[in-house]
Structure 1
C-alpha cells in the first residue's frame, strides 16, 4: 500500500467517478488529499451534486495518472467523517481547500475516506500491473 500512497501524494490530481441519480456514471476532476491510518481521505462540499450522489450510492472510484503513464485506481465505499484533526490537516496542506472552506468547522466542509476498497497500480509502458491491494 505504501507505493500506492506515495504515488497519490506525488500525483494527487485525478478524476472521481460516482453514480448519478439516474444510475449513470459521472466523472469529475478531483484531488487526493491525505492518508491517515491506512485511510485515503478526500473532501467535498455538501452543497454539490456529488455529495448527494455519494450519499445515495457510496461506491466511487478515483484514478490518477503520472506523466510517465503509471496509473493508480482506488475504489471503495465512501464513509463520511467528522474528525476535526483531519480537516485541520487538509486545510494546512492545501491552499485551495483552505481558500474554499477557511476553517475546519465550516458547515459545508465534508471529508470522506474509502472503505472496503481496492487499489491497483498499472504501468502502461510496461503493460503490467505493479500492485493490487485491498484496504
Structure 2
C-alpha cells in the first residue's frame, strides 16, 4: 500500500487500537474512532479531556495505532499533538453528537483534538506468507 491507499484504508476502517503509557509506565490500549484521515490533515482523533487517555497523551504523546480489516493490518506510529482549532472542535461535535452533553456541561475544553505527527505506517497482509523476520517497510504519512 502507498500513502494514499493507507489513508483510504483508515477512512474505511476508522476504529484503531491506540496504545499509550499510564503514569506508572504500564501500557494501555483502547479502541478509538479516527475522526479524519487524509493527505491534507493527516490522522485526526478526538477525545474527552476528563479521560485517562487524554492525561496519558498529554504526559507522553508517543503512540502506536493498529487498524485491522479483512486480513490487513495497518500499524501507525507517531506522536499525538493537540490541535487548538476551534472550528475543528465544532465540526467534531457536530459529527459526534454524543459529545454535546459534556460540552454543554463543561465547555469546549471537554473535547481535545489531536493530530498524529511524524506518522509512519507499516502494512501486513495476513493472506501472504512472509518468512519470520522479514523487514518491515515503513511509509511516511
Shift of 1:74: 1.0
Aligned to 1:41: 44
Aligned to 1:119: 121
TM-score (normalizing by structure 1):
0.84
**CA offsets 1:91-122 (integer angstroms, 9 cap, x no match):** 34x4xx2222366x622011001112211121
RMSD: 2.4
- For the residue of structure 1 that corresponds to 2:138, the secondary structure is strand
60, 64, 68: which is aligned to 1:61? 64
Shift of 1:35: 2.6
Residue correspondences, number: 131
Aligned to 2:29: 27
TM-score (normalizing by structure 2):
0.81
Task: Say yes or no: does 1:134 pair with 2:140.
Answer: yes
- For the residue of structure 2 that corresponds to 1:33, the secondary structure is strand
- For the residue of structure 2 that corresponds to 1:53, the secondary structure is helix
Q: Which moved more, 1:19-28 or 1:32-41?
A: 32-41
Aligned to 2:87: 85
Q: Which runs of 5+ in 1 are unaligned?
A: none
Q: Which runs of 5+ in 2 are unaligned?
A: none
Task: Say yes or no: does 1:99 pair with 2:98.
Answer: yes
Larger radius of gyration: 2
- For the residue of structure 2 that corresponds to 1:126, the secondary structure is coil
Rounded Cα–Cα distance in structure 2 between residues aligned with 1:2 and 1:38:
13
Shift of 1:127: 3.9
Rounded Cα–Cα distance in structure 2 between residues aligned with 1:11 and 1:110:
22
